[in-house]
Amino acid sequence: MSVDPECKPELSVVLPAFNEAEGITVFLAQLTEVLKRCCPDFEIWVIDDGSRDATWRSLCTALSEHHRVHGLRFTRNFGKEAAILAGLRHARGRAVIVMDADGQHPTDLLPKMLNLWRSGQAQIVAARKIRRPSDSLSARLKARLFNGLMRTLTGLDLDGASDFRLLDRNVVNTLLAFPEKVRFFRGMTVWTGFTTVPIGFDVAPRIAGNSQWSTAQLTKLAITAITSYSAKPLGMIFRLGLLGMAAAGLLLLQALYSWATHIAVSGWTSLTVVVLFFGSAILLGIGVLGAYLAQIFDEIKGRPEFLVAEVLGDGQEDRRC
Ligand code: UDP
Ligand code: MG
């Protein structure tokens, strides 16, 4: 199937997918049903983020059945942020909706999102999680911790925020023009300041499978999100240093007093506390500096955000299903 690049659909839907073989076919069927009713002029881009299961094979079957579905497969798992970026680069719609491929983002919200955009009320429609009954307690606690940190350190309020968003073409082009390699989609769209209308949704249970986010991946995303948006942690180290110097000054006075009054050995406890406190504060400081340095290193290397193994459905098929 070849698509005329000049013929732009009204809507592109971008679906990042990692190990979604079990549910992707059902989800695509649900999605196309809804789209046929509310926006017949659509295309779907599924970005297979280096799945290790049969996601790509399921996609190949779906692709042959729905001519509006396109697929792109990464050479390996580059992460959801890279998958969203790849989808935005390929999408040609006048509006683009980014949503999860596991069925947790309800498709019945699409008509409402489209109407808000069509009526000119919104350049971004941001779906916010109201209830998330299927999330475990630990997942909810992690989200709360992450959002609290983001609010304190970057000023961005991401409480309930999700990657489920409709973006006007203008917003997509703006995001694609950003030169940075390390990206945090959710925060970047808020940062642009385009007219945003929030709408709420209850997170549905997954169609199949389990969430693929490990604690290590979430920690990495949190560090990326914070270091991309704020230099506040660097300022905090500086203030901590000043506080430490003031405390050290007081302790120096105490040490001099102990020496003068020949009770120097009684300072052992305070000395231990000082060594432990400053030792860990210095390590923490080096860690924060390291996180920023790593980010600068990644940007300077200038490597591509992802590598594509195969593209299906945009007229340049390399059919190796
Ligand atoms: N995902 C991805 N790459 C990854 C991890 C996840 O493309 O490395 C996709 C996944 O297939 C799903 C979406 O991102 O469509 C959300 O992932 P998940 O359901 O694991 O996260 P949660 O719903 O817990 O936020
Ligand atoms: Mg999910």
Residue tagged 């968003």 (tokens): 165
Torsion of CA 194, 200, 202, 203, to 10 degrees: 0
Q: Is residue 98 part of a domain?
A: yes
Domain count, the chain: 2
Q: Is residue 287 part of a domain?
A: yes
Q: Is residue 41 part of a domain?
A: yes
| CATH code at position 224 | 3.90.550.10
From CA 116, how far away is CA 123, in angstroms rounded? 9
From CA 161, how far away is CA 158, in angstroms rounded? 5
* 249-303 confidence digits (pLDDT tens): 787 788 778 778 877 666 666 777 778 778 878 888 888 888 888 888 888 888 9
Q: What is the mean pLDDT of residues 32-37?
A: 96
Indicate which residue's Cα is closest to atom 13 of ligand 1: 100
Evaluate if residue 321 carries a pLDDT over 50: no
In three-state form (DSSP H/G/I as H, E/B as E, the rest C), the secondary structure along 184-221 is CHHHHHHHHCCCEEEEEEECCCCCCCCCCCCHHHHHHH
Q: Is residue 6 part of a domain?
A: no
Give one word for 18, left, alpha or beta, with left for phi > 0 and alpha for psi -120 to 50: beta
Residue 208: both structure tokens together? 């199949």
292/174 same-domain check: no
From CA 240, how far away is CA 246, in angstroms rounded? 10
Q: Is residue 168 part of a domain?
A: yes
From CA 168, how far away is CA 163, in angstroms rounded? 15
Q: Is residue 320 part of a domain?
A: no
What is the reported pLDDT for 140? 82
- The answer to whether 16 and 87 have CB atoms below 8 angstroms apart is yes
> Which atom of ligand 1 lies at the shortest distance from residue 206's CA?
19
Residue 150: both structure tokens together? 């983001």
Q: Is residue 187 part of a domain?
A: yes
Q: Give the phi and the psi of residue 7 in degrees, each rounded to 5.
A: -85, 95
What counts of helices (H) and strands (E) characterise the chain?
10, 8
39 CA to centre of ligand 2 in angstroms: 24
199/160 same-domain check: yes
Would you give the end-to-end CA distance of the chain in angstroms?
A: 16
197/222 same-domain check: yes
* 87-111 confidence digits (pLDDT tens): 999 999 999 999 999 999 999 999 9
Read off the pLDDT band of 318 (50, 70, 90). very low
216/156 same-domain check: yes
23/168 same-domain check: yes
Q: Is residue 219 part of a domain?
A: yes
42/156 same-domain check: yes
What is the reported pLDDT for 264? 66
From CA 241, how far away is CA 278, in angstroms rounded? 9
What is the reported pLDDT for 314? 66
164/262 same-domain check: no
Q: What is the mean pLDDT of residues 6-10?
A: 81
Residue 48 near ligand 1, beta carbon < 6 Å: no
Among 188-192, 193-197, 202-206, 283-287, the range scoring the smallest mean pLDDT is 283-287
Residue 104 near ligand 1, beta carbon < 6 Å: yes
Evaluate if residue 317 carries a pLDDT over 50: no
Mutate to test the pocket of ligand 1, among 136, 212, 215 (most ligand atoms within 8 A of CB): 212
206/248 same-domain check: no
As a whole number, the mean pLDDT across the chain is: 87
Q: Between 151 and 89, whose confidence is greater?
A: 89
Residue 211 near ligand 1, beta carbon < 6 Å: yes
166/74 same-domain check: yes
Q: What domain range includes position 48?
A: 11-229+304-312
124/218 same-domain check: yes
Other C-beta atoms closer than 10 Å to the C-beta of 308 total 15
Residue 20 near ligand 1, beta carbon < 6 Å: yes
64/172 same-domain check: yes
Evaluate if residue 26 carries a pLDDT over 70: yes
50/195 same-domain check: yes
191 CA to centre of ligand 1 in angstroms: 23
